[in-house]
Structure 1
């Protein structure tokens, strides 16, 4: 998967209005890394290194982070449908970010990432309240997440339509469907710190996550501090989701589809599942970004549309397989 990731990232940098060959892309990247000193046109090297490579790497990190969050939430809630988009976390992060962009709440003192983080945590708190915390089953939590997502989506739409001008409304609604168009190297630097930190924390708790698959009571009987571990992992999930949403918008179904595919490849043990989900999610998101740029002529389709076209049928398959037997 890592070899595939390197290939699709290089492939993504060849795609755009200004066509650049694959060999030139490889030379431009190696020049940027200081490995070679090949003589290529400066405009091509700038396009590859300053624009397209940063976009491809942010797409890869976003896919890795969302897939990681999906794997964590599915283990904590013991529900195959759990992921940040379904549980309303992405919707809450979007509302928090829109409050900063359109309403100017905390402008100067509250960054876009912090606004998204506050919104994501608000969504988690609402889901916990609606599902009555530990007394509810995983299905109740999913239903609470759907309700929270609808509420925060409604709040976002209300803020945009009543407080923003026409241009703001168009920009924000496109951003809410996901776009990698405006990301640059500073976004990559922040995102890689967040993803590496989150992955390290989750790998440290991988064996604990294995215990959660037997249920909270059995995990507690094995000596797992259930409430503390759940809070820490929920916080890590909210941090990763909020950072991604604040940069590229709300992208759904990646956390749903990818962990199941990774589980089919490497099995259920989280020490293997978590890094496999991250790597596969990175490949999937870069491919989705490529599709968003080539599926329609002379325009870019929002990345959330592409992931939904893959995720919704997969969602239906999971529901069909989970139906009670008669």
Structure 2
């Protein structure tokens, strides 16, 4: 089995589990990062979700600080900070602090999603996801990090952390206009056209395009077992679309016992069909095809299941599919 020759990274959303305190999800994120570092993963990113019962990570800068403090080599960042929720100078100074404490290891991933619900958007005072304002705010963050802002963001940095944009289809054009590296997932990975256009636009402007393909991955001894391990996440997504609440992960047995509506069943199957899952050999083949089609510079796995031991085994199996040489020669996009 040929090994993939691109860097491998992880995005962890600090998923809560039914019957457990939320704090355990955060502690689990830190332990997962420690294992990822041992396994040779390149980056470990954390998320921003507010007032979502199934996700404990509401403050990526704080959680990234905890992860970076308990690791020593792996790059740590946000996947991502939702910029409409924050003042650009606050984001810049948070990540300037992180970069000062952990030089050369910090990434700033930025997205433009608003809160999960209308009440949450009210509490965040975030009402505007206008793409032009978003680009202006991204430019402001970069200016503050570079020491070019209207005021001086502190601490001042000799070398600011790289900035990435999280993007779907339309977001790719925003990343191209900003000349920034991009992390993409979802249906856009099925169509190389927008990715090719992103690369052309960035290169034409004198930049260096960089694409991280973000994909749900699960490895087990059989394809059926891998599918089962994805059921808790698939059910949570289906439930959120029918009830408006994104729940904690449940164990596989409980999910199997549920009677799903046709709409929920469709949502579960759609999630499973979009995920890369199976045996190590099957996953290697599918990821190789993904990298070939998208020309991705890096793969970032987004994987969660109820059983943390199974999750650790899957993380270990996935790391074994990537060539060790790819972990030591990764450019840091600027």
Fold match by TM threshold 0.5 = no
TM-score (norm 1): 0.28
Higher-helix-fraction structure: 1
Tell me: higher relative CO, structure 1 or 2? Use CA pairs within 8 A at least 6 residues apart. 1
